[in-house]
């Protein structure tokens, strides 16, 4: 799954959390679920550019201290292992995160599912009310 899609999904989940800690953990857990969906990964420069853009949008819209941003970082963070693995030549079967070992979702050429997931996450960010008790930092992705 593209790291940017992980980040946007984590931001949407963070929108529903009271604290940044909850959002970060829920985002990290969502990474595992999203990796099970059919997807394809992009090359490192494209992934880095898209992830940077997604995090900048979330930070600009919701604030870098918001649950949305914490969820985005939590959801994208596990892909650091993929980056290190690719750069260091570590075989997939030696990676720690289960969805990064061998089965990394069914390979597909289509980006359609990932784009739909990103669009759904943006919709949640725009339409979902902020969790009661969450600090007000603006509206995610708006």
How many other C-beta atoms lie within 10 A of the C-beta of residue 93?
8
DSSP 110: -
pLDDT given for residue 7 in this prediction: 97
pLDDT in tens, 52-95: 999 999 999 899 999 999 999 999 999 999 899 989 999 988 99
The pTM of this model reads 0.86
Burial of 24 (0-12, 13-18, 19+ CB in 10 A): buried
Which pLDDT does position 115 carry in this prediction? Answer: 92
Quote the CA–CA distance of 58 and 8 in Å, as a whole number. 8
The residues, ordered by sequence, that sit 6+ positions from 8 with a Cβ below 8 Å of its Cβ are 54, 58, 72, 117, 118, 121, 122, 125, 141
- Per domain, the residue ranges of the chain are 3-127
pLDDT of 103:
58
């Amino acid at each position: 799954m593209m790291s940017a899609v992980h980040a946007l999904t984590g931001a949407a989940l963070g929108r529903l959390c009271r604290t940044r800690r909850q959002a970060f953990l829920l985002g990290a857990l969502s990474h595992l679920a999203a990796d099970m969906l059919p997807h394809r990964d992009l090359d490192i420069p494209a992934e880095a550019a898209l992830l940077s853009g997604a995090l900048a949008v979330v930070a600009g819209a919701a604030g870098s201290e918001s649950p949305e941003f914490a969820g985005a970082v939590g959801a994208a963070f596990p892909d650091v292992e993929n980056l290190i693995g690719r750069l260091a030549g570590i075989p997939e079967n030696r990676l720690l995160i289960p969805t990064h070992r061998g089965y990394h979702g069914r390979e597909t050429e289509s980006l359609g599912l990932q784009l739909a997931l990103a669009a759904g996450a943006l919709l949640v960010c725009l339409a979902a009310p902020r969790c009661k008790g969450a600090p007000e930092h603006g509206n995610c992705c708006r």
